[in-house]
Amino acid sequence: MCNFVRTIQSNLKNYDYEGRYGSEDFLVMKPDSTSISIESLYERLQVQIAGIGTVVQGVRINITTSVGVAGSNGSTTVETPVAAADATLYQAKDEGRDRVVYI
């Protein structure tokens, strides 16, 4: 888990926010980002996280990521984009996992 979090943190700016959201989900908030920079970030993270993996009782276990991305779309509250990102996350999981889904 520590390598996973370090990988995320190493790709963020000092004004970005990351944290645990639910039991196995993480939330990243990137104010003032463009859709192109967001897409690039999550595709880069997906590759980096896939390389982490771990070995349990001699068996290598790879880590995959499912990502849901949503913008604020002018919302003045955090709840609206978080709910939209959560919905796209579940869409990514339903579509087979290890993918990024954008709203």
Q: What is the pLDDT of residues 25-73, one digit of tens each?
A: 888 888 878 877 888 888 888 889 888 878 889 998 888 888 888 888 7
How does the average pLDDT of the chain come out, rounded?
A: 86
pLDDT confidence of residue 91: 92
Confidence of residue 1 (pLDDT cuts 50, 70, 90): low
Residue closest to 48 by CA, chosen among 2, 1, 3, 97: 3
Query: In sequence order, what are the residues at sequence separation of 6 or more whose Cβ sits closer than 8 angstroms to the Cβ of residue 17?
Result: 27, 28, 29
Q: Read off the CATH number of the domain in which 83 is found.
A: 3.30.70.270
pLDDT confidence of residue 12: 92
Q: Domain range holding 75? A: 2-102
Looking at the 3D structure of the chain, how many domains does it have?
A: 1
pLDDT confidence of residue 76: 80
Residue, of 58 and 22, whose pLDDT is higher: 58
Provide the whole-model pTM. 0.75
pLDDT confidence of residue 98: 84
